[in-house]
Structure 1
C-alpha cells in the first residue's frame, strides 16, 4: 500500500536529484579546468599529487577553495571554485586553463616558475586578489587585467614583463595594491589619478622614464627607485620639466693650426687664472646680494610675525583656560587614591589639546606644570544623583585597577562644571588604528596586533563584570579602546552610563544590543557582550559598526546583520578585511574569532556567553600571539586631534577618545 506521504517523498527526491545534477555539472567544468592546469604545470604528478581523477570534488584539494552561488537560469545554488592559492611549489607552464574558472575571486601563484605571456583574464570578472609575483612571465603588461572591475590587489612584481604601463589602469577604481616592480617595463608612468584608494604602490627596478605624475608623488622614493631616467617628486627634480638631462657628447677634435697654437701659447696661463677670479667675484656678489635681501625680508616679516604671535599666544592661552574653567567652589578635586597630585587651579590653567568627543563629553590632553600629562573628560550637561551616592559610585570606579583598564584618578563636580581625570594613553585608540589614514603610506594593523588587542579588551571587560559590584561597562566601542605606551589595550569610559543620565549617541548605536536599542533600557552585562561581539567583527572586517553597502544604497547596514548574511550566502572569507589577506596561515584563527563574535551577537541575550568565558576562548585562540612581545605599536606616534568620526568616510584621523 502506498504511503500518503509518498508524493511528498517523490517531490523531495526529485528536488534533491535536480540540485545534485546542477552541482555535478558545474563541478565537472571546474574539475576539467583544474585537471588541465595540473597536466601542464605538474607533468611529473609530484607537486599536485592530491589532485586526482578519482575525486570529482575539487573543493577538497590542496589550495582550492569554493563558495556557493545562485544560478540565475535555474534558481538553484551551485558550488564554484572561488579561490586558488598555490605558492612556492615550483610549478611551470601556462596558466591558461585557469581562465575558465569564471567565479574565481582569489588567485595567488607566487614564487613558482610559470613563463610565457599572461593569458587573457577577461573571463575572471569576479577576481579580487591577483598575485603572480616571483615567476618568469614575459610579454607585455596584461591589458585584460584592467577590465576586472572588482580587483583590489594586483602583484606582478619580479617577472620579465616588457612594454609600457597602460593608462587603462584608471579603470581599476577599487585598487588598493599595485606592485609591478622588478620587470622590464619602459616609457612613462601614466597619470593614474582615478586610483584614490591606492595604498601600496611600487614600480621600482624597471626602465621607466619621464616625470612622476603628481597623483603618485605621495609615495616614498623606494617605490620609484632603480629607474635611471625617472624624475620628479619624490626623486630628483626634473631638468626642463621633463627627464634628467643626458650629458652632451664632447665636440670632435680638429687638428690645430698655427694660429691656434700661437693664441694658446699667449693665454696658456692667464686665461684659467682670469676665469677663476671672475667666478669667485660672481659667487661672492650673489651671496652678498642674497644675504642683504634676506635680512630686509627677515626684519620686515619678523616684526609682523612677532605681533601676530603674541596675539595667538594670548588667544590660545585664554582658550585653553576656557576649556574647563567655570565658576568653581572651594572643595576642589577629589583624588580617588588619597594622594593629591595637583591643585584644581593648576589643572584649569594647564595647556590643553582636544582629543575627541564622546557620549558623555569632550576629552582633552592636559600638560601640568611639572610636565605630567593627564586626560581630562569634561562632562556634558548630565543629571547626577545625590552627592553621597555619587561619591560612593565614583569610589567604586576608582578602585578598579587592571592592566587592561584605564584607571580613574580624580574627579571634580560642581554645579557648572564636572571633570573626570584619568591616565593619558599616548597611542590613540582602536578606531584610529583600524580606520584612520587610509591613504598612501598607511601601515595596516596586522593580525597579531589585532588579536592581541581583542584579547586585552576581553580581559578588561571581564574584570569589570567580575568586580565586587558586578559593574556594567555600558559604552563599548572602538574609540573607547585606548592603547598605552606598551601597546596594551585599555578599556575606558566604563560604568559612566549607570551614574549619569547622559544623552544617547547615534555614533554608538551600531554597537548597542537589540534589547537596549528597542526600549531604551540601560545596558546590562549581556548587552556588553553584544557590543564586544560587534567590536570583534569590526576588528575582523575593517568595517565600521554601521556602513553603507555598495551599489549606492543610502541606508546604513548594521555590521552583525551584514556578517551573518555573507556567511550564510557566500564564502566566509568575503567577510575579512582585505588588509589581512597578506598574512599566511591565519585563516583558521580568523574563522574561530568570527564564530566567537557571532555567538556574542546572538539576538536573544540568554544565548550569549558570559564575558569571562569569551575572554578564555580568545586566550586559548591567541596562544603564543598574545604572550609574545609585539612591538608593532611601540613606534606609533600620538594620534592627531580630530573629531571622533573615523568611520564616516571623512578624511583625517580619528581622535584618541579618552
Structure 2
C-alpha cells in the first residue's frame, strides 16, 4: 500500500515539475481567481506539460527558445473575480493581456511591467483600483492601453510619455486627478486615439496636443475640471478627429483655426464661460475708448527747471477742456448703453435656458445610453446619433427625436466601398454641422476614423418608399467632381437618412461670404 502511495506522489511531483515556467505563472494566476462562474479556467491543469492548449492561451515558437512561449492571454467577459498576481510578470514573451469586462479587483502589480514584450493591455470594465504605476515606462513596445471603467486614482504618470509606440490610450471613467502631463503631447506622436474623459483632471489643455498629428479617431477630454482657453494649436489636428471638450470649466473665445472651425456645438457645450461660434453665446466686446489728442509742441506751456530756467516743452497731453458736468454726462451715457446691452444678452440667455430645460424635461434627462455615461444625457445627446436615435440640436418648435431601429427600415449601401451596418452608424460620434429646410446635417465619425455627412430628412410627409428609392438611385448615379457622392440611405415611415462623403472645407456660406459673425 505504501509503495502505491509513494508512486502516486512521485508521479504528481514529476507532472508538476514537467510544466513549463510559463505554465507555472498561469497556475499562479488561476489560484488568484476567487470565482470562475463560467469555468473558463477548468482546462488550466498543472499536470499538463504545456499550457499552450489551455482556454484563452496562445503560444508561439520563438527564435532562441526550445519550447513554445505564451504570447497572449485572452480571458475577457467571463465575470471571473480575483486579482492579477505578480507572477504575470514572469511571462517575459507575453504580447497581449486581455482581461476586460470581468470583476477583477486589487491593484496593478509592479511585476507586471517586467513583461517588457507587452504590446496590448486591455483591462477595461473591471474594479481595479490604486494608482497607475510610473514603472509603466518599462513597456517601451506598448501600443494599446485601455484601463477605462475602473477605479484608478491619483495622477497620470509623466513617465507614460516614454511609451512612445502607443497608438491607443484610453483612461476614461476613473478617478484620475491633477494636470494632464505634457509628455503626452511631446512624445506620444503616434497616438491615434486619446480618451481621458470622465475623470477629475484639472489645469489647462496642453498646447502641445496640437503635435498629435497621427490622431485619427478621438480626442475626448469631456467631463473633467479642465480650465483655461482652448489652444489654437489644436486646429492643426486632422479634420477626421472627433473632438470633445464638453462639460469642463473652459473659458474664452473658441478658436476658428483649422479643424476647430469645422465643429458643431457638441464638443463645446457644458462650458459656461466659452463663447463664440459654433455656440450661440457671443463673446463680450470691450467698449471703444478714443485716445486723447496730443498738444502741439508750440502750444505746450513752458516748463520751469529747478533753478527757474525755462525747460524745452515735452510731449504733454492737453487737459480736457470739457466741464465736469459734460464728463459726468458722458460717463452716465456709457453706463446706460452697456447696461442695455447686458440686459439684452441676459434676456436671450435666459430664454435659451428655458427652452433647453423644457427640451430636457420632454426627453428625460435620466434616460440611459448615448455618450453621456449617465451625466447630462439630454443635453449631451442633442445633435448626436446615440442609443438608436438621431436627435438634432433643439430649435424652436422642433418635435421629439424619432428613434431609428433596425426593425423599421434598412440601411442600403449605394457604393461597394460602404460596408457599415446601421447599428455601427448609430453608435458613432456625431455633431451637428447645420440645418435648414431640407433637414439637419451631421458629421459622423465611424469606428475606423472615416467621417461621413448624414442628412436627416425626418418624417418627410407621405412620400412612399418606391418614390424615395427611385430618387435616391438617380442621385447615386450622378458622377461629377463638384457633386458630393451619395454612399447609402436609410428609409422608414418616420425617418429618412442620406449618407454622403464628408468634405472638410467648411460650408457654402463661409466659402461665399467668409466667416460670419454672430448677431448681437
Structure with greater contact order relative to length (CA < 8 Å, sep ≥ 6)? 1
Q: Same fold (TM over 0.5)?
A: no
Q: TM-score, normalised by structure 2?
A: 0.43
Q: Larger % of strand: which?
A: 2
TM-score using structure 1 length: 0.34
